[in-house]
Amino acid sequence: MVIERTTVFAMRCPACGRLDVQHLNIFQLAGNRTQDIYCECGSHKASISRKGANYISIHYYCIICDHEHSIILPKSIFWSKNRLNSLVCLDTELNLGYYGSYRLIRAELKRQQEELNSMANELGFDDFADPEIMLETLDYLHDIAATGGLFCECGSQDINIELFSDKLELSCNNCNSAMQIPASSKFDLDRLKSQGEVVIKLATGKSKNSKTHR
């Protein structure tokens, strides 16, 4: 009987933003070998190695917090054919990619693309300077809001988003303070992702109330 041990690693490149898929097999991690994962652009994304007989170690650079993260997990999880595991920023818990079953990763990436295409059709993204950058910006703001990282200095998390051709405007429904976020280039997106939180500064004359964002 042949036992196949393979897994798939899919992580967005911290340099160019491309998300591609690498297939790994058990022989690439034999002994004390370290498998380095590179993007097609040549940038290093992660290093994977065995940790003792029963664990796998993953080191990866995080564009969100600008630090390298390390995780150690049982080899049964890493090589599982029935799991989809998220690779996250350990500080913000925002998603960076996936590892696990190729079938499940392919299905998840397809679902995300269909969701983005549906959003683009609804919003008429042909009017934007860079539709893909605008979609990724919205997706990131959605993720960071889910972790409590999008709020106003007044304490409110009730935030409205208005779209323009090359930017978004966030406004607080509690105190009416607002801020603009450029969204027309990869530089704009990378700068946004480098922030652990997105905070709307209080407008002149406004004061903080008793609301909290946590």
Residue 196 domain-assigned (yes or no): yes
pLDDT per residue as tens digits for the range 58-89? 999 887 777 899 999 999 999 988 889 999 88
Residue 95 domain-assigned (yes or no): yes
Instruction: Kindly report the pTM of this predicted structure.
Output: 0.62
Domain match, 103 and 171 both: no
Domain match, 135 and 74 both: no
**Please, which pLDDT band fits residue 191 given cuts at 50, 70 and 90?**
confident
Domain match, 176 and 96 both: no
Domain match, 100 and 12 both: yes
pLDDT per residue as tens digits for the range 149-177? 899 999 888 899 888 888 999 999 999 99
Residue 113 domain-assigned (yes or no): no
Which residue segment(s) compose the domain that 183 sits in? 124-200
| Boundary of a domain, candidates 78, 107, 136 | 107
Domain match, 26 and 68 both: yes
**Please, which pLDDT band fits residue 41 given cuts at 50, 70 and 90?**
confident
| Boundary of a domain, candidates 74, 107, 140 | 107
Q: What percent of the chain has pLDDT over 90?
A: 29
How many structural domains is the chain composed of?
Answer: 2
Residue 148 domain-assigned (yes or no): yes
Q: Could you write out the three-class secondary structure of the chain?
A: CCCCCEEEEEEECCCCCCEEEEEEEHHHHCCCCEEEEECCCCCEEEEEEEECCCEEEEEEEECCCCEEEEEEEEHHHHCCCCCEEEEECCCCCCEEEEEECHHHHHHHHHHHHHHHHHHHHHHCHHHCCCHHHHHHHHHHHHHHHHCCCEEECCCCCCEEEEECCCEEEEEECCCCCEEEEECCCHHHHHHHHCCCCEEECCCCCCCCCCCCCC
Q: What is the pLDDT of residue 211?
A: 47
